Amino acid sequence: MTVNTDTVLSADSLGKEYPGPPPRHALDGVSLDVPRGNFVALMGPSGSGKSTLLHLLGALDTPSEGAVHFEGKRIGDLSDDDRTRLRRDRIGFVFQAFHLVDMLTVAENVSLGAAIRGETKARETAEDVRVRTEELLTEIGLEARGREYPDRLSGGEQQRVAIARALFTEPSVLIADEPTGNLDRSNGDAVLGMLRQAADTRGCAVVMATHDPRTAAEADRVYLLRDGQICDQLDLEDEGGPRVDRIQAWLAAAAS
């Protein structure tokens, strides 16, 4: 296996202060590089800054200090239009709440990205969209459910649809904030398997926040946040015993 260490996303001394009142310093001096096709987990207690960091990495919010680079380009230097395009075409988002559009069918939810950017991608025919939607539905095991509405689906199925939607535009980065937080273990495992596969077969970098060691065990690298700073990192690709055990030992050592 060749390892591609190309950096797709990098954070350089990121700081974030929410104005308040009272003002709150949510991130302080956070730097990290995400290689292409890598799966990165962010751990840390509630309030440690995981979601804030994901918002900055996904160009949903702007840092107070430092910079985010996406494929070598500084996001802060992009025009509003280019930033919108970046978010829409190059980055996929998956949240704890599935955020499907209730009034659209499952298939329409998956291809929502094509509908939104419709006018800019004239080359993309309705047939292309249909074929791609069907491929993705098959991949998530819901090929027979495309004409149904999301409220007929279980939570696990809805989250799989949300991931298919996020992957529709073939993004190079997937941002996932507690994606298994509302799911039972078997549905959570299915969702994690899809994220792992996005990294392995599509070369999509995945950055996921979780507080669950079992969930983080799917990643290649885990960062631990505390009070808005990265206080440690664990490379799971290195050899050394069951991953969950290693994460638990690492968390315990960091807490002591």
Ligand X SMILES: Nc1ncnc2c1ncn2[C@@H]1O[C@H](COP(=O)(O)OP(=O)(O)O)[C@@H](O)[C@H]1O
Binding site for ligand X (CB under 6 A): 18, 24, 26, 44, 46-52
User: Shortest gap between Cβ of 20 and ligand X (angstroms)?
Assistant: 6
Tokens of 152: 């007929």
| Shortest distance in whole angstroms from residue 47 CB to Mg ion | 8
Task: Please say which residue, 51 or 111, places its beta carbon nearer to ligand X.
Answer: 51
Coil vs helix vs strand at 181: coil
The edge-to-edge listing of strands for the beta sheet with 65-70 is 24-35, 7-18, 65-70, 73-74
As measured in angstroms, the least distance from the Cβ of 206 to ligand X is: 17
Taking the alpha carbons of 101, 149, 97, 171 in that order, is the dihedral positive or negative?
A: negative
Q: What is the dihedral of CA 232, 233, 238, 240, to 10 degrees?
A: 40
Stretch that binds Mg ion, among 17-25, 51-59, 119-127, 143-151 (CB under 5 A): 51-59
51 binds Mg ion (CB under 5 A): yes
Smallest distance from Mg ion to CB 177, Å: 6
Q: Does 210 bind Mg ion (CB under 5 A)?
A: no
- Choose the binding region for Mg ion from 49-57, 84-92, 163-171, 247-255 (rule: CB under 5 A): 49-57
Residue 252 phi/psi, 5-degree rounding, is -65, -40
- Paired with 92 in beta bridges are 174
Q: Which residues bind Mg ion (CB under 5 A)?
A: 50-51
